[in-house]
Structure 1
Amino acid sequence: MIISIVFFTAQGKKTIIKAKIRGADFVGYKCLAKMLKSAKKASKIRFGGLPLVKNSERLHILITGTTGTGKTNMLNELLPQIRLHKDRAIIVDTTGAFTDRFFDPKCDKLLNPLEKNSEQWLPWNDCFEAADFHDIASSFSNYTPKLDDFFAKNAELVLSEALKLYKDDKDIIKLIHTIIYSDNRQFAKAFRNTAVSGIISESALETSAGIQSTLGKNITSLQYLKPGGSFSIKEWFSNSNETG
């Protein structure tokens, strides 16, 4: 009886293995690395010795985990590989840790108006077509379609028009003064004969004031920009000679 149970148990396990229809296999990272390499699907980017799937480097990658699980270490491993292969990366460094460790002034570009060695950027430097003004304005907007905030939505439109007003002289000081420091009547007067004159006017000062207040909060960071900046993010992207 015992022999029969052992026999049928063994046969059952074999049947289960052979009857696998679909699904992924769980293998060790070394085995997976060999599989990718033999299939010629191994990327040049690796984490802990395990390559990514080839051509997936620019797809979305989620790095998540609690404190101390190695998220920062993965980025510390990634950035030297990007530099080694002469690729480029944009790093939003809120703590300054990556800048301290990896920044190379010979080839990298720093965008922080509070730093002495920062590139000097102005919003007009990346406005080459009419649609670019709206794109830049939306970057400084807190508008959420689900909420459909009237003031937030129109503040975005007004900023787009304001950028067009000063596109010739690229005067960041005038832009800031018009939006943040001018009184209601001066603010409305600045946008007379523009696409937003219907919502910014002396006959609707309360509406204009609400939009001006919202817009002023959105562009506070622009006050730190210095006049005369010539750095363009788009041109940096399109320049194949850049390696930083």
Structure 2
Amino acid sequence: MFTTIIFFMYRGKKAVIQDKIRGADFVEAGILAKMLYKSKQAANICCSGLPLVKNSERRHILITSTTGSGKTNMLNELLPQIRKEQDRAIIVDLTGSFTDRFFDPKCDKLLNPLQDGTEHWLPWNDCHEIWDYNDIASSFSNYNPKLDDFFAKSAELVLAEGLRLYHDSQDIKTLINTILYANNKEFVRIFKNSAVSGIISSSAPETSSGIQATISKNIEVLQYLR
């Protein structure tokens, strides 16, 4: 009887032991850090003492958790390390807290037209080749290929053409006035004999007005550029 109990206990224990076939191991942070340093795969950038994998610093990292769990503190820890490595970071600072804490006017660039000391960026600054106009215009577009929105796509094309037309003067105020405030007749006249004259026509004022309204919504924020 005793032998039978021992036999079934042994068989039961063996049955619940899982052999690893493939996949990663789940280990504690301290053990993982030692593994990375031992294999010389540890990067110089660390998060709470845990180094990133070497040469993975520029890959996507998702930081997500509840309020007060330390997401901002993690970024506060990362930024000085990035500066120490003489690398670059682009920070979208909605509250201004990162700017107040880390901004160094001697080496950092501020892109905020509503704040003193900003760099005066214009869309033409990034237009060096003919296709760059379309790239810039698409960044201000809400066009979704799955929806095949005529007005959204046409607005994107017209904005790209407007950037080409005003490339020499690089007058952002004139571009804004042309698109946001011009009446339909003036809007059609400006783009006459251009690449988009086929979709902006005095014979179809409703279409032209719809395109103009769509562009206006997309580029309204450009009014703040100086």
Relative to the length of structure 2, the TM-score reads 0.93
How far is the alpha carbon of 1:210 from its aligned partner? Answer: 0.4
Matched residue type, 1:28: E
Matched residue type, 2:175: L
Matched, 1:156 2:190: no
Secondary structure, aligned partner of 1:177? helix
Find the aligned partners of 2:4 and 2:57 in 1 and give their Cα distance: 53
Q: Which of 1 and 2 has higher RCO (CA within 8 Å, sep 6+)? A: 1
What is the 5 A alignment of 1:179-198? 179-198=179-198
Please tell me the root mean square deviation across aligned C-alpha atoms, in Å. Answer: 1.8
Find the aligned partners of 2:21 and 2:131 in 1 and give their Cα distance: 52
Report the identity percentage.
68
Find the aligned partners of 1:88 and 1:17 in 2 and give their Cα distance: 48
Cα offsets for 1:3-37 (capped at 9, x unmatched): 76457645764686584322322221111111111
Cα offsets for 1:75-107 (capped at 9, x unmatched): 111111101111001111111111111111111
Counterpart for residue 143 of structure 2 = 143
Counterpart for residue 30 of structure 2 = 30
Secondary structure, aligned partner of 2:206? helix
How far is the alpha carbon of 1:74 from its aligned partner? Answer: 1.3
Counterpart for residue 113 of structure 1 = 113
Matched, 1:207 2:207: yes
Unaligned ranges ≥5, structure 1? 227-244
Find the aligned partners of 1:19 and 1:66 in 2 and give their Cα distance: 35
Counterpart for residue 99 of structure 1 = 99
How far is the alpha carbon of 1:125 from its aligned partner? Answer: 1.0
Secondary structure, aligned partner of 1:130? coil
Q: Which moved more, 1:12-21 or 1:45-54?
A: 12-21
Secondary structure, aligned partner of 1:69? coil
Counterpart for residue 240 of structure 1 = none
Find the aligned partners of 1:78 and 1:176 in 2 and give their Cα distance: 39
| Shift in alpha-carbon separation, 1:75–1:207, aligned structure 2, 3 A | same
Find the aligned partners of 1:163 and 1:70 in 2 and give their Cα distance: 43
| Shift in alpha-carbon separation, 1:86–1:7, aligned structure 2, 3 A | farther
